[in-house]
Every structure is written in structure tokens, then in C-alpha cells.
Chains A and B, each alone.
Chain A
Amino acid sequence: MAIAFALILVLVVVGSVLFHVLSPWWMTPIASNWSYIDGTITLTFWITGIGYIAIILFMAYCVFRFRHQEGRRAAYQPENTKLEWALGIGTTVAVLALLGPGLVVWYQYIEVPKEATEVEVVGQQWNWSFRLPGKNGLLGTSDPRYVSSDNPLGLNPNDPNGQDNVVIDGGELHLALGKPVKVLLRSIDVVHDFYVPEFRAKMDLMPGLVTYFWFTPTRTGTFEVLCAAFCGVGHDAMRGSVVVDNESDYQTWLRKQHTFAELSARAKKASLTR
């Protein structure tokens, strides 16, 4: 029994390592500047993995070596302060080795570079809308009070900064390759979370607040947006897409979009003819 048990523990460890190395399931290829995050994950894997393997193998050894046999008697050793402190300090060092780099990258994550352009993501059950600033780079103010079928994002109609904002209701968001973006997140109903696995970054849309994160797209292509905060029965269907273009494609796309002023004028006209 003891020998079988020890062997199975060894198999658990070996199996886990083999699974990690051989299985096809791993992070999707990255499409943003956050390869530091992947680096921190790899570092964490090494440090904790070694700890895990060491502890389980040590345990397997003990179970085998000190299994009950005729005449065996356990040692009497209440404590060993030196050993306990040594292990405690060793663990502290390992933990600091994880924490240090982690905090450095977190600092980068929350410090938005000055040249980043703003993009707004708005969530509501269960779809995504987007807004880009106009020529002056500013997004106009907004409030859920202004939300109506003609103004789904609730932009302040009296704010001049909002008039030339590009409103994308229910379409794709395009971003330019290599340009850092500060994503501002806003919800007009419940908590949602803007998540694109390839970008590694994610952040909640917290009703009542405007939250943010930043990243730089590093690969062109179309990426799926998922909602990563449970938001009701349609949660899993709340998808969108982000297209990363090179500069000229991006400009072509941008020219075809409509500003808030254009959309409100159109809505007014429609209601007059009706």
C-alpha cells in the first residue's frame, strides 16, 4: 500500500508536468504589448512549479521510507526552530521574487503613456458600443440620463466636445496597429467586463464609474471581444470584435464612420418625416 501510494504520488507529479509540456492547450498567441504579463506567468510557473514538485516528491519519499513496519517507532521531535525559520525565510524570498516583477508590471499597466489616444467602450445588456474622439482628441461628457433610442450611449447633447465623436453602435471597433490606446469603459446598466484574450488585458465596466486600461495592438487581425463579468442570461452571447488595421486601412475605415452630430441630425430628420 505505502509503495503503491508513493508511486501514485510520483505519477501525479510526472503526469502534471507532462500534461503541462505536451498538451496543446496554452495561451493564445499575444497581440498586444503585454508580453510582460506572459513573462510574469512563466516566472510564476517556474517558481511555484519547483515548489510543488519538491513538496509532493518529498511527501512520496516519506510515505515510502517511513511506512509502518514491524518494530518501527517514530522519532520524537516537537520542533526545530532553526529549520522552521530557514524554510520561512526561503519561502519569503521566493514570494518576493514573484511579487517584485509582478508589481513592476502592474505599475506599467496602470500608468498610461501620454501619447495614448482615448477610445470609449460602452456595455449594455448584451452588446458593445464604441466611441472615438473627434479632431481635438476629446470625448464629450455623458450620462445615463441622456440615453434614448436616438442616443444609445447617452452622450450629452449640449457638450460641444461630443458633437464630432464617432459613435459605433453595434459595429466593430477598429484600432491602428502600434498606437497605444487608453480604453475608457462605461456601462449603462450592470457590470460587464471587456475582455480580448489576445490582448491579455481586461477590465470591468462598473456602472456609475468610468474605468480604464491601456495597451498597444501589435498584430493586425480581427479579435473577438468577450464579456468576462456575469451580466445576466445573455452574458455568454455578449460578443463583439476589434479589428486591428495598419494605418491606411484604419483611416479608410474611420472616414466611413458617423459622428454624434450626424447621427442626431439623421434621427431628427427621421422623426420629422414620420
Chain B
Amino acid sequence: MVDIGAAEGIPPAEVEDVELYHAKSWVTKYVFCQDAKVIAIQYSITAISIGLVALVLSWLIRLQLAFPGTFSIVTPSNYYQFVTMHGMIMVIYLLTALFLGGFGNYLIPLMVGARDMVFPYVNMLSYWVYLLAVVVLVASFFAPGGPTGAGWTLYPPQAILEGTPGRQWGIILMLVSLILFIIGFTMGGLNYVVTVLQGRTRGMTMMRLPLTVWGIFTATILALLAFPALFVASVMMLFDRVLGTSFFMPAIVAAGEHLKYGGGSPILFQHLFWFFGHPEVYIVALPAFGIVSDLISVHSRKNIFGYRMMVWALVAIAVLSFIVWGHHMYISGMNPPFGFFFATSTLIIAVPTAIKVYNWVLTLWRGDIHLTVPMLFALGFIVTFVNGGITGLFLGNVIVDVPLSATMFVVAHFHMVMGIAPILVVFGGIYHWYPKITGRMLNERLGQIHFWITFLGAYLIYFPMHYLGFIGVPRRYYELGETAFVPASAATLNVAITAAALIVGAAQTVFFFNVIWSLYKGKLAGGNPWRAASLEWQTPETPPGHGNWGKELPVVYRWAYDYSVPGAGQDFLPQNQPPAIPAR
């Protein structure tokens, strides 16, 4: 028997209990608020609102792909602007902000037993700078020439030249918005890391942290190390665009005109972008990994299988994710032997990732599985994540990537693995923690409807899409037209995919209705409706009050996974429950 669950001696408090800033007015309580829980809600509402814009854009994209040229608002320029904004918003402004700014802010202090983030004021600033970034992003829709249509990867030279829509203002605002986002994130990110390292309550050792905290913690470290690459790339490209420098611009003849650029390197931008861009995938994935681990454990009434392996797998994935970026550039013309290195490093990542999957399903083994709504979403995640993970083995293996890169196969792959899978976790997480946040349960029936349409619908969108990629249908095509190598039946498939996309999108209204309706009419939840062991469920008040813990900070005696412990009466032991027999 391993001793990870056993109570060790409780060390003295590392940090003294802090005196928090107490809001004195309505404005400091609900607007310029320093309480991480309020900041979390602010982050989440902003992220989800802008995410809805991205969802509507995806409809417009899909309508064009299914019925080319039918809708007059989707001109070629608009189409590329929609695709670009859809991708950028989903990845950065929705998922990154929601997982770290939303879930991170709400859960970290509660789960580690802190009263708040370590630097509440900076934490507040983080949100407002993020909001500013979103405002600048939205402004680009209204700027002359519209938002940039350079693709979310913003590759120069095209991104700042005439042939690309939004080259007037759109690209400038996009780069400024990214720079702001990174500044805002950095302020929040430092908080998350330092709070996990320094703000843990007595007895909360690192190896007793719930995996949710581990996931958000490692993702934040990744982000703190990866975003600077995007930051410098954005600044340099801004200079190229505005000041006429040539960081990324070689000698170019565009539309018969010799431009005043020369000597720069477009491939350098790709290296910088993907040095950020690949870890970004894991910035979105690691929090999802963590949350899913906890959902599966709680709702199977069983400890997460192989906790230590899960932690080390997270750390291994995080480290490895910095040496695989070249797999996005196999056909970019970078030195071809790099292919050997990046294919090897990429496929090695599959091992710790697979171990995580095994441990999730092994947690189910001999569990006591309650198919609650959060559990449904968690299990749905496993399906889409495994599906997207194995197509990653196609694209990571350099030679297989050659025919498939830049086709719809890639679009299907990344939506499965970093679009749908994390979104399912977001939903699972909301259904799971909503009772803590509001004191009321979300409606179960509506939740089930929401789950089935979203999960099956998303699978129907993306599973067949891989096959368009096998045929060779390229991505980022306004109109493919008649071509010899694509059978006419592919058009039918496109219509079916679009139908599924419209249905999935529309089904989200069920979720929003549920969230708002349950706020007033939902069943009262009590403090710990799922009978979960981790600390956030043990707060004296629900929703937790300012300072989270009332008079005294909790003391932690065990890991977060003491479910169905032999000999214990109930099937879970809260982390702050002292051992029945004093520790030897």
C-alpha cells in the first residue's frame, strides 16, 4: 500500500493568515473587485460572450462551405476574416482566458486553502487589461477594412500586405490586442503560480493538491514561458507593419511593385509563433486534464488511479511541449533533417498522454459510477480527446503529415483535440462547480439534453471531416469549386456537417437557459452536493464568502481522493477531516 493518502505530521503554517482588502463600496465589491471569485466570474462572462461571437462566425464559415456563394454577406474577404477571428477568439480569448482566468481564479485559492490570490490587486488589473484586449479585438470588426483575415497564425509576409483583408487596421489592432492580452495574462499568471507555491494552507503539500490545481498550475507555467515568444513576434510584426522595419520581410514584389522590404525572415516568425503555439495547445489541454481527473474521480466515488503518475505525466508533457513546435512546420522549408527530431519528440509526448488516458479509464474500473451531468461531459471528453489524440499521431509522424497538412484533416484533428474536448470539460466543470458558485444545482434533464446534442453533434461534425482531408480538400478555401480529385458526393457531406454544426450551436441555448433559470429556480445545493473530498467543498458558507474560510483556515490531513476508503463509514473523507486514529 502506498502512503500518499496517509496523514503525515502537519507542518506549522508557512504563511501567516493574511488581512484581506475589504471592499467598501458597491464598485469595489462588484466592479473593480479584488476577490478572485468575482474576478473569475468577470473573466468567465467576458470569455464566454466573446466565444459566442466565435460560434456565430463558425456558422457563417460552415454555411459558405456547404452552400458556396449563396450568402451574400460571406464574400471571400469576409470569409477569411471570419475564419481568422473564429480561430483566434476560440483559442486565446475564450479557452485560455476561461481556463486560467475563470477556473483558475475561482478554484486555486479554494482548492489550496487560501483566502485569495497572493496579489489581489494585480489580479484585478489582470482582468481589466484582458477586457481591454477584448475591446480592441472587437473594435477591429468596426475599423475601416475590417478585422484581419490573415489566418489565426498571422503568417507574414501575407499578414501585413495588400492581398490580405484587414491589412489597414485589422492586423494592427489584432497585434495590439494580443500584446495587451499577454500583459494581462502575465499579471494573472504570476498570481496563480505564486498562490499555488506560497499560499497553500497547513498540511496541503504539493502531492496532496487536486489534479485540477496541478493542471492549471503547469498550464500557467507553460503560458508564462510561451507567451513571451508571441509577444516579441507581435511587437516585431507591428514594427514591420507600422514602421516599415523588415524583421520578417524579405525582398518582395507584390502586384508588380517592388516593396521597400528586404533581408527579413518569414520563417523566423513561424518558429516564434509555434514556440508559443504548440505549448498553447497544452495551455488549453492541461487544465482540462486536471479538471477531468477530478470529475471522474468524484463521480466514480473512487480515487484517481495513479495520482503520482498523473502528476509526473503532466510535468513531462509540459516540459516536452517546448521541444515539439517544429511539427507545425514540417513542410515550411525548414532544414529537412529537423523532421527527424520533431517527429521523435512529438511521438514521445504520446506516451505520457496515453498514460493519462489509461489512468482515467482505470479510475472507472471497479468504481461506483454515477452518470451525473458533469460525469457525462467528462466521459465525452475522453472519447473526443482519444480520437483527436490518435490523429495527432498521424500529423506528428513527419512523413504522414506531408499529404495531410493544410487539409481538412488538420481542421478535424485540432477541433477534436483542442476545440471540442476542452469545451466538453468546460461544460463538465460548470455543471460540477455551479452549485458551489451559486448555491443551486443546474437542472439535470436539461443538462443531459445539452450533453447528448453537443457530444454526438460534435462527433458528427468532425469525424467525417477527416475524410475530406484524406481526399485532399485543403483548409482555408473560400470555394473549392469543381475539381477532378474530389467526388461530387463530398458536397453532400459538407451539407451534413454544416447541419450538425448549426444544431450543436443552437443547442447551446439550452445551456444558457439552464444557467440563468437555475440561478433563481434551481434546486438548493447545500455545501457539498457531490459529496466531494477536495477543500473547495468544505467552505463554511456556500457560495463561499469573502476570505473563503471564515475565521480559521482549514488544516489538511490527506490527499484529495479519499473515496470509498475501506473501513470509513461514508464513501468520502474530506481533505480537512483529521484521521480517526492520530497519525503515528
Give A contacts to B, CB under 8 Å.
1-2, 5, 8-9, 12, 16, 19, 23-28, 34, 36-37, 40-41, 44, 47-49, 51-52, 55-56, 58-59, 62-63, 66-68, 72-80, 83-84, 87-88, 91-92, 95, 98-99, 102-103, 105-107, 109-110, 124-126, 143-145, 147, 149, 154, 185, 188-191, 193, 195, 197-198, 200-209, 211, 222-224, 226-236
- What is the minimal beta-carbon distance from A116 to any residue of chain B, in angstroms? 15
Subset of 17 A-B contacts with CB under 8 Å: A26-B467, A41-B400, A66-B368, A68-B369, A74-B367, A78-B303, A84-B309, A109-B399, A126-B163, A189-B253, A191-B155, A197-B485, A204-B331, A206-B333, A207-B157, A232-B158, A232-B161
Is B244 an interface residue, CB under 8 A from the partner?
no
Task: Return the 10 tightest CB-CB contacts between A and B, nearest first.
Answer: A197-B472, A232-B163, A208-B250, A211-B333, A48-B390, A74-B302, A62-B364, A190-B158, A102-B397, A25-B467
**Chain A residues with CB under 8 A of B472:** 27-28, 195, 197, 226
Structural contact, A76 and B564, CB atoms closer than 8 A: yes
In Å, the complex CA distance between A209 and B252 comes to: 12
Give B contacts to A, CB under 8 Å.
1-2, 4-5, 76-77, 80, 149-151, 155, 157-158, 161, 163-165, 250-256, 258, 264-267, 300-303, 305-309, 331-333, 336-337, 339-340, 343-344, 347-348, 350-351, 354-355, 357-359, 361-362, 364-371, 376, 379, 382-383, 386-387, 390-391, 393-394, 397-400, 402-403, 405-407, 456, 459, 463-464, 467-468, 470-472, 474, 476-481, 483-485, 487, 489-490, 493, 561, 563-566, 571
Q: A84 touches which one: B4, B151, B306, B337 (CB < 8 A)?
A: B306
**Chain B residues with CB under 8 A of A110:** 336-337, 339
**Chain A residues with CB under 8 A of B258:** 144-145, 147
Q: B399 touches which one: A40, A79, A88 (CB < 8 A)?
A: A40
Residue in A closest to B476 when the chains form the complex, CB atoms:
A230
Structural contact, B265 and A2, CB atoms closer than 8 A: no
In Å, the complex CA distance between A234 and B300 comes to: 53
Structural contact, A73 and B564, CB atoms closer than 8 A: yes
Structural contact, A208 and B393, CB atoms closer than 8 A: no
Q: B343 touches which one: A99, A149, A231 (CB < 8 A)?
A: A99
Structural contact, B471 and A26, CB atoms closer than 8 A: yes
**Chain A residues with CB under 8 A of B343:** 99, 102-103, 106
**Chain A residues with CB under 8 A of B267:** 206, 208-209
Structural contact, A95 and B347, CB atoms closer than 8 A: yes
In Å, the complex CA distance between A198 and B470 comes to: 11
In Å, the complex CA distance between A76 and B80 comes to: 53
In Å, the complex CA distance between A191 and B347 comes to: 28
**Chain B residues with CB under 8 A of A25:** 464, 467-468, 470-471, 487, 489-490, 493
Structural contact, A75 and B333, CB atoms closer than 8 A: no
Structural contact, B333 and A204, CB atoms closer than 8 A: yes
Given A84-B355, A95-B351, A207-B266, also A2-B483 (CB < 8 A): no
In Å, the complex CA distance between A145 and B383 comes to: 54
Structural contact, A200 and B403, CB atoms closer than 8 A: yes
Residue in B closest to A185 when the chains form the complex, CB atoms:
B333
In Å, the complex CA distance between A36 and B476 comes to: 28
Q: B406 touches which one: A51, A87, A193, A224 (CB < 8 A)?
A: A193
Structural contact, B406 and A229, CB atoms closer than 8 A: yes
**Given A193-B331, A230-B80, A233-B165, 19 new contacts (CB under 8 A):** A28-B472, A41-B394, A55-B358, A58-B361, A72-B368, A73-B564, A74-B563, A77-B303, A77-B366, A78-B2, A84-B306, A84-B355, A95-B348, A103-B340, A203-B333, A206-B332, A224-B484, A230-B150, A230-B155
- What is the minimal beta-carbon distance from B393 to any residue of chain A, in angstroms? 5
Q: B474 touches which one: A2, A51, A144, A195 (CB < 8 A)?
A: A195
Structural contact, A74 and B158, CB atoms closer than 8 A: no
Residue in B closest to A88 when the chains form the complex, CB atoms:
B355
Structural contact, A48 and B479, CB atoms closer than 8 A: no
Q: A48 touches which one: B339, B393, B467 (CB < 8 A)?
A: B393
Residue in B closest to A206 when the chains form the complex, CB atoms:
B333
In Å, the complex CA distance between A173 and B478 comes to: 25
Residue in A closest to B407 when the chains form the complex, CB atoms:
A228
Q: A200 touches which one: B305, B309, B402, B493 (CB < 8 A)?
A: B402
Structural contact, B158 and A230, CB atoms closer than 8 A: yes
**Chain B residues with CB under 8 A of A206:** 266-267, 332-333
In Å, the complex CA distance between A73 and B477 comes to: 54
- What is the minimal beta-carbon distance from B405 to any residue of chain A, in angstroms? 7
**Chain B residues with CB under 8 A of A154:** 253
Structural contact, B2 and A125, CB atoms closer than 8 A: no
The residue among A44, A48, A145, A230 with the most chain B CB atoms within 10 A of its own CB is: A230
**Chain B residues with CB under 8 A of A209:** 267, 333
- What is the minimal beta-carbon distance from A5 to any residue of chain B, in angstroms? 6
Q: A228 touches which one: B1, B354, B394, B474 (CB < 8 A)?
A: B474
Structural contact, B256 and A149, CB atoms closer than 8 A: yes
The residue among A51, A102, A105 with the most chain B CB atoms within 10 A of its own CB is: A102
Given A66-B300, A66-B366, also A191-B266 (CB < 8 A): yes
Structural contact, A19 and B464, CB atoms closer than 8 A: yes
**Chain A residues with CB under 8 A of B379:** 5, 59, 63
In Å, the complex CA distance between A76 and B164 comes to: 59
Structural contact, A188 and B366, CB atoms closer than 8 A: no
Residue in B closest to A108 when the chains form the complex, CB atoms:
B399
In Å, the complex CA distance between A202 and B403 comes to: 7
Given A44-B400, A56-B386, also A19-B463 (CB < 8 A): yes
Structural contact, A99 and B483, CB atoms closer than 8 A: no
In Å, the complex CA distance between A227 and B61 comes to: 20
In Å, the complex CA distance between A107 and B267 comes to: 22
Structural contact, A24 and B406, CB atoms closer than 8 A: no
**Chain B residues with CB under 8 A of A198:** 485
Residue in A closest to B485 when the chains form the complex, CB atoms:
A28
Structural contact, B369 and A62, CB atoms closer than 8 A: yes
